[in-house]
Every structure is written in structure tokens, then in C-alpha cells.
A and B are shown apart, each in its own frame.
Chain A
Amino acid sequence: MPTLFRGEVVKTYFRWRSYIAFIAIAVVVPLVLIAMKLNTEAMARNVTRGLSQDFLFVGNILNGYFVTYLLMNALWIHVPFLLTLGAGDQLAGEATAGTFRILLTRPASRSRILAAKYLTTLLYTFTVVAFLVILSVGLGLLLFGGGVLLVPAKVLTIIPAGEAPWRMLLACLLATWGMWTVASLAFFFSSLVDNALGPILGTMAVIIVFYVIAGIPVDLFRAVRPYLFTTYLDIWQKALESPIPWGEALTSGAVLGATSVGLYALTWYVFVRKDILS
């Protein structure tokens, strides 16, 4: 298993396509942060608007943690897209390249190969999310400095400066957990077709449709909401509430995890039976 996993890691990280996600993040994050830096005053006013009547803001509100929160909030539909570029290619890419023929005529069983590929997908997902958070926090701290993390979500949460780093870490891990479900979906679609475009479009279509359904204020759709995994993708925000709603986080995590496991089982069912004609 370790050798199979290593092989898959080499295949994934030696391919330039895998770096599209990193490059996109490396471009977007500095751009946004620099733009924010150039408009610090206006940004700060914007954020505190409506609150400044009730609160007196002292110190550095617009800091590295806060801009990371803003970025993660803004990029929530874009990161899945970047992930599908890698995850959707895991199986379909082998079909396109014809390399299934050297991969699956070897003693290693399809189940083990699939497991190695899935683990690689999870690792890839984690590295992309972690790259986003680390770059954002790092560059944010450099440009704006640290301070208290202000989270203007449903309720205004104030996280002390000392607590902010590990809260960000937790947010990063929970975000990864959520994105693993997205990656699992792309991985599943990847087992069905012989080109990488299908899984990318399929995954994005599902996510967008689910978001649209969840967003329409009709009773029927509202009733469906709890059954859509996209409803729980905001799990990372739980890490930035005070106190952390562990119950809710656990529920969301369980639903996302169960969805991932279910999708993996489905992928396995398809893949071990698949006739390799590519």
C-alpha cells in the first residue's frame, strides 16, 4: 500500500495540471489582500458599518485573521472548482492517457489501487485548502498585522488574539473535511467516464444545483435542505464561533463524512467491475 500511495502521489504532484489550483490561489490571495491594503480605511468602515453605533472599535480590526475569514467566505464556490481539476482527473485521467492498461494488468488489486488514489485525492485536497489558509493568514499578518478576530456572521463573534491561530487551524481542518466530500463527488464521477472534463462539470453542476435549491425560499426546498451535503459545507465557520458549537460541528461533520464514505463505496462498486476499454 505505501508503494502504491507513493506512486499516486508522484503522478499527482509531478503533473503541472495539479498546480493550477495552487497558481490560482497564489494569484488571487495576494491580489485581494493588496487591494484591501490599498483601501484599508474604507474596508474597515465597511466591515464595522452598522456596528459602530453600538460598539467602539479599538485596535486593529482588519488584520491577518480577519482577511482570511473574508477570503474563505468569498471563495467557497471557487475552491471546489479548483479541487475538481485534480480529483476529477484521478481515474478519468488514466483512462484518457490509456495508462489503465499498465496500471490494472498488475498484481495490485483494483481495490487497493482505488484506495491509493482516494488517499492521494484527500491529500491533494488538504494541501490546496491548507495552501489557501496558510498563504492568506501569512500574507495577511505581514500586510495587516495580527489582533482580535472579529467574525461578523449571524452574531458578532470576537475571538481574542491569543486564540485566533488555533481557531484558524481548526477552521482549516474543518474546511478540508468539507472539501473532502466535494473531492469524493468528483472522484466518483471520475470513475464513470473516460475524460476529465465530465467529472469537473458534473461536480460543479451538482454543487450549483444544490446551492440553488437550498437558496430558494420555498417550503419544499427548505425541507430538502438538510439532505443536501452542500448545506454543511460551511462547517469551517463553526470553528470561528464562540463558544464553538461542537454539537453542530459534529452533526455537519458526520453528514459530510457519511456522504464521502457513501460516494467512495459507490466509486468502488463501479470501479472494480468496470471494463477497461480505453
Chain B
Amino acid sequence: MDTVLQTRNLGKRFGRRWAVSGLDLLVRRGDVFGFLGPNGAGKSTTIRMLLSLIRPTTGAVELFGKPLPGNRSEILRRVGGLVEGADFYLYLSARRNLEIVAGLSGGVPRGEIDRVLDLAGLAGRSEDRVKTYSHGMKQRLGIAQALLGAPEFIVLDEPTTGLDPQGIKEVRDLIGRLSREEGMTVFLSSHLLHEIEQTASSMAIINRGTLVMQGRVSDILNQAEVGVRIEAEQPERAAEVVAALPYARAVMRENSVVSATLPRERLAEVNRLLVGLEIGVRAFVPKRSLEDYFLEITEGASDVAPRSRQRWRKES
């Protein structure tokens, strides 16, 4: 499969703070690529670098095998983007807004504006000023402008933010359609794991500006370490035994419940070990959800000092 996007050692420093560092991403043609991270993890900074809004401090962005910013115009002709919410010229109609955007792309075929307005379900309101639009409509218009000119690759930064459940479902369906029917490669950022789980085929997790992991969603779901809840008759002893295992992390005991993070393939082994030591195991429950895993690897995000956390928020 050919590569649509590749970044190498991508980094951006604002003052003394690295918003993103050493980021290596790989997006293949046809992927719906989920870019997951908590608020302030550096998702938007990364996306802004992919779309040439900001200049990387280190590393390089390559799209369609060509380096940015050198081939900026040629590359961006094949890319559509929606960065951090859809802002438009509020005093102009949706159609005029799209005409201006189309002009920046060197013009689009006749009927293209109607096509994307229709896709976004805004055909009936196209002559109204964007000022009169609801948040959801603006968001849909944002996606519509990203689709203008039938790009091969679209980058959507938190496209479902602020939408109601119906709107979220519509956006997800649209992303699915674009991927399946139009063969578009989609780069989708989110701070919600279940959103990525439901829409993406591969994913990367970013935290504090660095890549935590990257791969196919199904692989990550299966390979990940698992949080396990163990109810034992001798909880102190059980906790000691588990804590002594080199691969066990985050071992804690609360009354008769021991919790630990273990590699998936070691679960049976740990269970056998406890039983073999004649520790009565009443329950051995793996928490399968990637959500816990995501929360766990990103929980450090709340450890940062209040001042820098504020700056993270602002940036995200």
C-alpha cells in the first residue's frame, strides 16, 4: 500500500516548551487514521504542521511522497482540511464562503459547490449568511469546505466537537462513506477513544507531544496491556506475588481487591501462578476496554503544573 502521509522526527517548540517532539506518523492510502490524545497533547499543533499553517522546528512532513513545504501548492491541491472548528466569514452566505475557498484552490468544476453543500445537508440554506447558522451547521459547512475539489486526503480536527448525538452520527456516517465510496484517506483527530474505535482503521496515540503508540486499531485492541481486577482470599499475599512479576505494573490493593496492569498474553500465566501458590482466587477480571488503557497512559497529563496546563489548554 502506498503512503499518503509520513512524518519524521516532527517537532514544534513554542518558546521553551515543546508542543510536539520526535513524532513519526505513517498514514497509508485508504486508511481512516485516528489521531488520539487528551486535550493539549499536541494534536492541533501537529495538524497545523501537516497543513502548512505552522513551520516545524524539527523534522519533516511528507505527503504523497513529496516534502512540505517545498511542494506546498501541489500537495494542498490534493488535501482538504478542517482545523479546530469551522470559522467562516459570518457576514457572507455559505455559497460565497465556498466560492472564496474554491478561488484559493484555483477554482473548482461547475456544480462542485452544490455537490458539497448537498453532502453536508446545507443545500436549502446555502444563500443564508453563516452568521445565522447553528454550531452543527457551521461544523458541517467546515467539512463541506474540506471536501471541495474532491481531495484524496482529508484532515479533520475533532470534527464532532459540539455536535449533538444526531450530528455526531451524521459526521461518522459521512466519514465512513467518504472512505468506502470515494476511497478517500481520512486523518481524524479526537480526544475520545470510542470515536476513534468506531470510525478508524488505524490509529496513533499522542500524549504530551510525543507518540505513545501507533498501529492498526484491531491490533492495538488485542495487544495492549490489560488492567486486571483480582479478588483473592489472601489479598496481601496476592498483591506481593503480582508486584514481584517483572512485567506487572500499577499493582494496587484495596481491601480484598488487587488491581494490576498486565500484558494480555500473561493473564493465564498469572492466574495459574496464584492458584499454584494456593491463593484462593475468587475472581480474575480483565478490563478489556481500550478506554481504561487510554486513560491510564494519558493520566500523566493531569500531573503537570497548573501554569503549563493552562497553556496546553489554550493550545489544544
Using CB atoms and an 8 Å cutoff, list the residues of chain A in contact with chain B.
3-4, 6-7, 10-11, 14-16, 97-109, 113, 273, 275-277
- Please tell me if B70 contacts chain A, counting CB pairs below 8 Å: no
CB pair A97–B89 under 8 Å, yes or no, is: yes
A105: contacting residue among B83, B88, B91, CB under 8 A: B83
CB pair B53–A276 under 8 Å, yes or no, is: yes
Taking the closest CB of chain B, its distance from the CB of A99, in whole angstroms, is 5
0/1 string, B92-121, CB within 8 A of A gives 1:
100010011101111100000000000000
Taking the closest CB of chain B, its distance from the CB of A92, in whole angstroms, is 14
CB pair B73–A101 under 8 Å, yes or no, is: no
Taking CB atoms, residues of chain A closer than 8 Å to B83 are: 101, 105
- Please tell me if B76 contacts chain A, counting CB pairs below 8 Å: yes
B103: contacting residue among A6, A97, A100, CB under 8 A: A6
A16 to B129, CA, bound (A): 14
A108: contacting residue among B85, B89, B99, B106, CB under 8 A: B106
With A102-B145, A275-B53: A107-B103 Cβ-Cβ less than 8 Å:
no
Residue of B nearest to A273 (CB): B55
Q: Please name 12 further chain A to chain B contacts, defined as beta carbons within 8 Å, in addition to the given A101-B87, A102-B88, A102-B145, sorted by A numbering.
A: A7-B100, A7-B103, A10-B96, A16-B91, A97-B88, A98-B87, A101-B83, A106-B104, A107-B73, A109-B72, A275-B54, A277-B48
Residue of B nearest to A11 (CB): B89
- Please tell me if B52 contacts chain A, counting CB pairs below 8 Å: yes
CB pair A97–B52 under 8 Å, yes or no, is: no
A106 to B103, CA, bound (A): 9
A98 to B87, CA, bound (A): 6
CB pair B104–A4 under 8 Å, yes or no, is: yes
Residue of B nearest to A97 (CB): B87
A178 to B100, CA, bound (A): 31
Can you report 30 A-B residue pairs in the complex whose CB atoms are below 8 A from each other?
A7-B100, A7-B104, A10-B96, A10-B100, A11-B100, A14-B89, A14-B96, A97-B87, A97-B88, A97-B90, A98-B84, A99-B88, A100-B53, A101-B53, A101-B83, A101-B84, A101-B87, A102-B87, A102-B88, A104-B53, A105-B76, A105-B79, A107-B76, A107-B104, A108-B103, A108-B105, A108-B106, A273-B55, A276-B48, A276-B53
Taking CB atoms, residues of chain B closer than 8 Å to A273 are: 55
Taking the closest CB of chain A, its distance from the CB of B115, in whole angstroms, is 18
A4 to B89, CA, bound (A): 15
- Please tell me if B81 contacts chain A, counting CB pairs below 8 Å: yes
Taking CB atoms, residues of chain B closer than 8 Å to A98 are: 84-85, 87
- Please tell me if B20 contacts chain A, counting CB pairs below 8 Å: no
Residue of A nearest to B48 (CB): A276
The interface centre, meaning the residue of B52, B76, B79, B104 with most chain A CB atoms within 10 A of its CB, is B104
CB pair B100–A107 under 8 Å, yes or no, is: no
Taking CB atoms, residues of chain A closer than 8 Å to B315 are: 277
A23 to B107, CA, bound (A): 35
Q: Would you list the 9 A-B pairs with minimal beta carbon distance, nearest first?
A: A98-B87, A106-B104, A3-B103, A275-B54, A276-B53, A7-B100, A105-B51, A108-B104, A107-B73
Which B39-83 residues have a C-beta within 8 angstroms of A?
48, 51-55, 72-74, 76-77, 79, 81, 83
CB pair B101–A106 under 8 Å, yes or no, is: yes
A108 to B76, CA, bound (A): 9
Taking CB atoms, residues of chain A closer than 8 Å to B90 are: 97
A277: contacting residue among B54, B73, B106, B107, CB under 8 A: B54
CB pair B55–A10 under 8 Å, yes or no, is: no
Taking CB atoms, residues of chain B closer than 8 Å to A97 are: 87-90
Taking CB atoms, residues of chain B closer than 8 Å to A16 are: 91
Residue of B nearest to A109 (CB): B73
Taking CB atoms, residues of chain A closer than 8 Å to B74 are: 107
With A101-B84, A105-B76: A113-B55 Cβ-Cβ less than 8 Å:
no
CB pair A103–B85 under 8 Å, yes or no, is: no
